[in-house]
Structure 1
Amino acid sequence: MNQRTSRAASTHPAPRIALVGLAILGVMIAAFLMRRSLVAASSPAITTSPSSTSSTSSTSSPSPRPPGAASTTTSEVHRPAEGKTSLGEDDGVVPDGAAVSVFDGEIPAVGRLAPGLLEALRRAATDAEADGVRFRVDSGWRSPEYQQRLLQDAVAEYGSQEAAARWVATPQTSAHVSGDAVDIGPFDAAAWLSHHGAAYGLCQIYANESWHYELRPDAVRDGCPRMYADPTEDPRMRQ
């Protein structure tokens, strides 16, 4: 081998080593990038679901409900009242979770309603069942102590006596205490009464309380009278 050939042979390995090194580095980079993409794909994204957002907003402004409805928690209903150790069924409390009908006369909330109102409710409920609709008594007759407790709760919830008066009457003015009012649920039953109640003399009295019904016998002939916007417009509440 001459000197020229020997020099060429000694310089050839360098490019090969460089190429091999670059190839190894490329494989390592590719493996690193692939590993990052796999990790990113397997990590769950953190999002705010619409349901959780709506749940938060709905709790900030509670929707209206019938005062004293059966869905009220036990702690709200059975707290001590003046002159009594607790409030119970004898005060007109509807048992928690009970689907009380207008035919459950053994329950004071139903049995102590005014006879004319109760008779009209039972006739209406019988006809409504033929349409696949069942009435549920959310609240009926109430003792003065129970009404006072509901009023106190409403003042605490709405912030003032004036605001609470849009939803809960005093024991002296409440048609529930006299047995002349009933709160009917669920929604389809109240909707059925809003369409057919006048034929039985049953009328919604307040526009803001779709569940509240009283007996107006003249409605059978003349239709139900114009509703008050809320109880504060009712002259009976100013006694």
Structure 2
Amino acid sequence: MPSHRGIIRILALGAVAFGALTLSACSYTEAAEPKRGNYLATQPDSGPSGGEIEDSLSVEDTHVPALARLDSALLTALQSAAADARASGVDMHVTSGWRSAAYQQRLFDEAVVKYGSVNEASKWVHTPSLSKHVSGQAVDIGPTDANDWLVRHGSDYGLCQTYSNEMWHFELATTPGGECPPQLSNPSDERAEG
């Protein structure tokens, strides 16, 4: 049987390992298809009121701030697209929508830690002043088959994939039936142009 000191050491190592797993699970960047959720509610504007989504939402969950605070034209286009995708056998879910400035800043800060610099993080996550999520003009979609469907049919609703490195990120960037503008390679390209 381990000594009292040995038990404390085992518990401490377990706590460190759990903390690392928790930090890893709580980190978010837009480097992979996003699956939101399980954020620690330690920040102002965290949780649903800050736009966080536990896992994903139906486009009909408009009582949740992440959808309720989307631009109304974007939400309408998204709901129409989701209904047509569903009729084609594709379920479409929102993995991120409107975000508070505090939540967006946290995502950006986490990306800086993950990628090691502001420049690298900017290829995946905007600062609050540049993010179209903060203004309610961007939405992230999942799963992958829904992204693929929306890449192929989104312009019918005015929805366009704006960054080639983010298959899930869509904005209302054309008129319904119009042509989507050329994709930027990543969010930092937009900053360079603007």
TM range (shorter): 0.7 to 0.9
Look up the match of 1:184: 141
The count of residues paired between Structure 1 and Structure 2 equals 166
Give unpaired runs (5+ residues) of structure 2: 1-28
Residue 111 of structure 2 contacts residue 121 of structure 2 at CA under 8 Å; is this kept in 1?
yes
> Which deviations, in whole Å up to 9, do the C-alpha atoms of 1:81-124 show, x marking residues without a partner?
3xx3x6110000002x4x41111001111111000000000000
Task: Please point out which of 173, 180, 191 is paired with 1:224.
Answer: 180
Q: Which residue of 2 aligns with 1:166?
A: 123
TM-score, normalised relative to structure 2: 0.79
C-alpha root-mean-square deviation of aligned residues, in Å? Answer: 2.0
Q: Which residue of 1 aligns with 2:42?
A: 80
Cα shift at 1:232: 1.0
CA shift for structure 1 position 238: 6.7
Partner of 1:139: 96
TM-score (norm: length of structure 1): 0.65
Shift of residue 63 of structure 1? 9.3
Displacement of 1:80 in angstroms is: 3.0
Distance (whole Å) between structure 1 residues aligned to residue 89 and residue 193 of structure 2: 40
- Give the Å deviation of 1:219: 5.7
Going from structure 1 to structure 2, the CA distance change for 1:232 and 1:63 (only over 3 Å counts) comes to closer
Q: Does 1:92 align with 2:51?
A: yes
**CA shift for structure 1 position 79:** 5.2
The answer to whether the 8 Å contact 1:219/1:225 transfers is no
- Local SS of the residue matching 2:67: helix
Task: List aligned pairs for 1:115-134, cutoff 5 A.
Answer: 115-134=72-91
> 2:15 aligns to what?
none
CA spacing shift, 1:63–1:170, aligned 2, 3 Å: closer
* Separation of aligned partners in 1, 2:50 and 2:33: 17
Amino acid at match of 1:80: T
Following TM superposition, the consecutive aligned residue runs of length 4 or more in structure 1 with deviations greater than 6 angstroms are: none
Percent of residue pairs identical = 45
Q: Which has the higher helix share?
A: 1
Measured after TM superposition, the shift of residue 220 of structure 1 is 1.9
SS of equivalent residue, structure 1 residue 137: strand
The amino acid of 1:214's aligned partner reads: E
Q: Which runs of 5+ in 1 are unaligned?
A: 1-61
2:104–2:127: 8 Å Cα contact kept in structure 1? Answer: yes
Query: Relative contact order, CA 8 A, sep 6+: which one is greater?
Result: 2
Contact 2:141 2:170 in 1 (8 A): yes
Distance 1:164 1:200 in 2: 30
Q: Which has the larger radius of gyration?
A: 1
